[in-house]
Amino acid sequence: MTAFVLRRAAPFALGRRHVPVLVTLGLFVLAFAIGAVRYENFGSAQVFLDLFIDNAFLIVVALGMTFVILTGGIDLSVGSVVALSGMLCAIGTMKLGLPAPLVIAGVLVIGTLFGAGMGYVIHAFQVQPFIATLAGMFLARGICLTLSENQISIDDGFFDAVALNSLPLPGENRLSWGAVVSLVAVAVVVYVLQWTRTGRNVYAVGGSEQSAVLMGLPAARTKIQVYAISGFCSALGGVLFALYTLSGDPTHALGMELDAIAAVVIGGTVLTGGSGYAIGSVLGVLVLGVIKTILSFEGTLSSWWTRIAIGVLLFGFIALQRLIASRRKATTPV
C-alpha cells in the first residue's frame, strides 16, 4: 500500500517502471532521425505533424485501450466500433438528414453504452474479457453490414468544414482538427490517470483486484468504467476516421484492435495490468506511424514490412517487460 501511494505521489519521478516508455521514445527518435537522414524532406515539421494527422483516430482508440489493459483486461471490439461509428455518422447525416453535431453526440453515447455493456457482462457474469469483447467485435461488425454492405460517402457541410480545414501553424505548417481533438484527448487521459481517483482505482485494480477490493476500492465500478471509456474512445476514433475518409464503410478499421493493442504494449503498458502510461501509448502509435511513413518514402517495400516490424517490436518489448519484472522480483525483499 505504501509503495503504491509513493508511486502515485510522484508520477514523473524516473524509475525502472519508466524504462519501456523511455525505450519507446528513443526508438521513435532513432527511426525519425534515420528517415530524416535517408530521405529528403522527411525531417520537416510537416512530416512530423502528419504523424498525428494520419493517426489521430488510432491515438484516441489506443488511449481507450490503455485504460482497459491497465486493469488487466483486453478489448477486441474497438475496430468494429470504429467502423460502426463511421457508418452511423454516414447514415445519420446522409440518409436521415440529421444535423452532424447531433449525430456525433448520439454516436458517442452509443459507443459509451456499448462499452459499458461489455464491462457489465465481464463483471456480472465473470466472463473473460477476451470472450466478451470478441462477441462485441462480431456484434458491432454484424450491425455495420446490416446497415449497409457498401461504402457511404459523407457530403455534409459540417463534416466537410472540419475535414477540409486545418489549424495553421508557424512556417506554413498545418494540423488537422482531428489531430487537435486527439491531442486534447491525450491531455485529458493523462490528467485522469495521474491526478484523479479514477486513475488511482484503475492502477490499483490492475495491480491486484483482490487487494483493491480489500482496500475498499470500487473494483466492479472501475472495470465497467474502463470499458465504457474504451467504447467512448472507439466511437470518437470512428468519428475522426469518418472525418479522415469522409465516408462510412462496414469494412473500415479491420485489424485496428490489433494495432491499438500493439501500440499500447510498445508504449510500455504491461498486458497483465497495473503499470503503464498514456504518453507511452501515444509514442507507440507514433512509432507505428513513422515505420509506415518510412515505407511510404521508400516506395519499393511492401506494406507487409510494417507488420513484420510490429511483430519484432512486440517480441522485444514483451521480453523487456519480463526482464524488468524479474529484476524487480529479485530486488524486492521477502
User: For residue range 212-240, what is the model confidence (pLDDT) as tens digits?
Assistant: 999 999 999 999 999 999 999 999 999 99
Q: Give 188's strand partners.
A: none
Domain contains 161:
yes
Domain contains 91:
yes
**Neighbour-count burial for 238-266, b at 16+ CB within 10 Å, e otherwise:** bbbbbbbbbbbbbebbeebbebbbbbbbb
Q: What per-residue confidence (pLDDT) applies to 1?
A: 41
Q: What per-residue confidence (pLDDT) applies to 329?
A: 60
Summarize the confidence of residues 103-129 as an average pLDDT: 97
Neighbour tally for 43: CB within 10 Å:
14
* Interval 24-36: pLDDT, tens: 999 999 999 999 9
Q: What is the pTM of this model?
A: 0.92
Task: Please return the burial class of 229, using the count of CB atoms within 10 Å of its CB with bins 0-12, 13-18 and 19+.
Answer: buried
Euclidean distance between CA atoms 5 and 161, whole angstroms:
47
Q: What per-residue confidence (pLDDT) applies to 233?
A: 98
Domain contains 6:
no
Q: What per-residue confidence (pLDDT) applies to 12?
A: 46
Q: Which residues does 276 contact at the CB level (< 8 Å), separation at least 6?
A: 66, 69, 70, 264, 267, 268, 269, 270
The pLDDT confidence band at residue 155, using thresholds 50, 70 and 90, is: very high
Domain contains 2:
no
Q: Which domain holds residue 293?
A: 17-327
For the chain, what percent of residues have pLDDT higher than 90? 79
The pLDDT confidence band at residue 6, using thresholds 50, 70 and 90, is: very low
Domain contains 332:
no
Which alpha helices (H) appear in the chain, and where do they start and end?
Answer: 2-9, 19-38, 45-54, 56-70, 78-90, 100-124, 129-147, 157-164, 177-195, 197-207, 209-214, 219-245, 256-266, 278-298, 304-331
Query: Could you tell me if 261 and 276 are in contact, meaning their C-beta atoms sit under 8 angstroms apart?
Result: no
The pLDDT confidence band at residue 17, using thresholds 50, 70 and 90, is: confident
Query: Could you tell me if 159 and 243 are in contact, meaning their C-beta atoms sit under 8 angstroms apart?
Result: yes
Return phi, psi of residue 7, to 5°.
Answer: -65, -40
The pLDDT confidence band at residue 324, using thresholds 50, 70 and 90, is: confident
Domain contains 333:
no
Our count of domains for the chain comes to: 1
Q: Which single residue is written with the C-alpha cell 523487456?
A: 320
What CATH code is carried by the domain that includes residue 138? 1.10.3470
Euclidean distance between CA atoms 119 and 221, whole angstroms:
9
- Measuring CA to CA, which residue among 59, 69, 75, 73 is closest to residue 231? 75
Euclidean distance between CA atoms 48 and 107, whole angstroms:
30
* Whether pLDDT at 56 is above 60: yes
Domain contains 239:
yes
Q: Which string of DSSP letters, residue by residue, matches 300-312?
A: SS-THHHHHHHHH
Q: Which residues does 122 contact at the CB level (< 8 Å), separation at least 6?
A: 73, 128, 129, 132, 223, 227
Q: What per-residue confidence (pLDDT) applies to 14?
A: 61
Domain contains 282:
yes
Report the half-sphere exposure of 65 (CA within 13 A, side-chain side). 39
Neighbour tally for 168: CB within 10 Å:
10
